[in-house]
Amino acid sequence: MQKDKFGPETIYEIYDPKIGLEAYLVIDNTAMGVGKGGIRMTPDVSKEEVFRLARTMTWKNALFDLPFGGAKAGIRWNGGDEAKKREAVESFARAIEPILVTRYIAGPDVATGEEQMKWIAQTVNNFKATTGKPKDFCEAGQCGLPHELGSTGYGVVQSTLEALKFQGIDPKDVTVAIEGFGNVGTFAFKHLSEAGAKIVAVSDIKGTAFNEKGLKMDDLIKAQKEKGSVKFAQGATEMTHDEIFGLEVDILIPAATTDVINDSNKDGVKAKIIVEGANIPMTESIEKELVAKGILIIPDFVANGGGVISSYCEHVGKKPEEMFEIVKEKITTATRAVLERAKKDNRTLREVAYDIAREKVEVAMEKRATTFNI
């Protein structure tokens, strides 16, 4: 983990010896506002991973002009029933209660969702402590806007469509592969299908379903529910999970976890466009290698900002229909700005997006007298 002028400002390592809870919270930079970022629960989450994600949130929030800084949290979670999960989440909530709302606002991420956000808000007795809560969980006229409504996947599709529009490509003329069929992947599938794109491959952790004529969402959901994986979808050819990265498609959307495109499979990537629905689906060095091969890559903190934009909307009391309009406007505006500046300056989209975000954070940092306001 490398410290620089942006942060990280604060790193928390949490251990509850009573239940064996291990967790991390990294508040990277709060110049733009209170630290905002989700909580993931995975067996191998590390402090380094949480820092990388927190830094991504710093840039993401700045890029979309949200009044949030960058933060992220991770709980080591090897699985268990709902009671055990709730015990872990509530322990984590109690540990960070002193800084909730003032320094950090929690949100959903991998293996956390609306129920976990509700648990945290109830544990600390503060409705504003989290976003992404259930839509029927309300206080003083404000209600939750769960990510289960599909804001992140919807935003990924808006970014994809803007990139196609910029290149003069009709969505009806493209083939798509989506790695991951969770909250982001399912809604990316739904909205891309509605735009006319042909989704020929979808994967989950157990395998890949492929059909060159196009897959149907109902078949994928049924296969996952009844047989445990999308790879068993009716009419689909069964493949391994990693085979999805080597398919000859126009668009590849990694929409699951970090570092799925790596040294073991990067040379086989054949997609013309990669839209990073997941956070950090590859390292920046690998991203540069693929860009050098002529692949257009829309960075994660440009493409998948729908979730945190939804979080902002919930924080200020917007309704679902208002939220989707704001997600569309902010994602398309940011994507277009990055594409235009990258073309003008002959640079990668990530380099340009970083510059736009950095400039905003630097201005905010210059305006405050001290880092830790009391």
- Residues with a known catalytic role: 72
Q: Would you say the C-alpha torsion 318, 192, 347, 270 has a positive or negative sign?
A: positive
DSSP 66-92: -SEEEEEEEEE-----HHHHHHHHHHH
CA distance 339 to 207: 33
Q: At 47, is the secondary structure helix, strand, or coil?
A: helix
Residue 297 φ/ψ region, left for φ over 0, alpha for ψ in the -120 to 50 degree band, beta for the rest:
beta
Cα separations (Å) of 280 from 117, 255, 349? 23, 10, 15
Residues listed for the chain: 374
C-alpha torsion angle, residues 250, 253, 259, 262 (rounded to 10)? -10
State the Cα–Cα distance between residues 331 and 262, nearest whole angstrom.
Answer: 27
H helices present in the chain, as ranges: 47-63, 82-96, 114-123, 151-166, 183-194, 217-227, 284-292, 300-303, 306-315, 320-345, 349-367
Q: How far apart are CA 166 and CA 142, in angstroms?
A: 38
| Residue 82 and residue 61 in contact, taking contact as beta carbons nearer than 8 Å | no
Question: Residue 2, Cα to own-chain centre: how many angstroms?
Answer: 22
Element housing 37 (H / E): strand 34-42
Asked if residue 312 lies in contact with residue 85, where contact means CB atoms within 8 angstroms, the answer is no
One-letter identity of residue 49: E
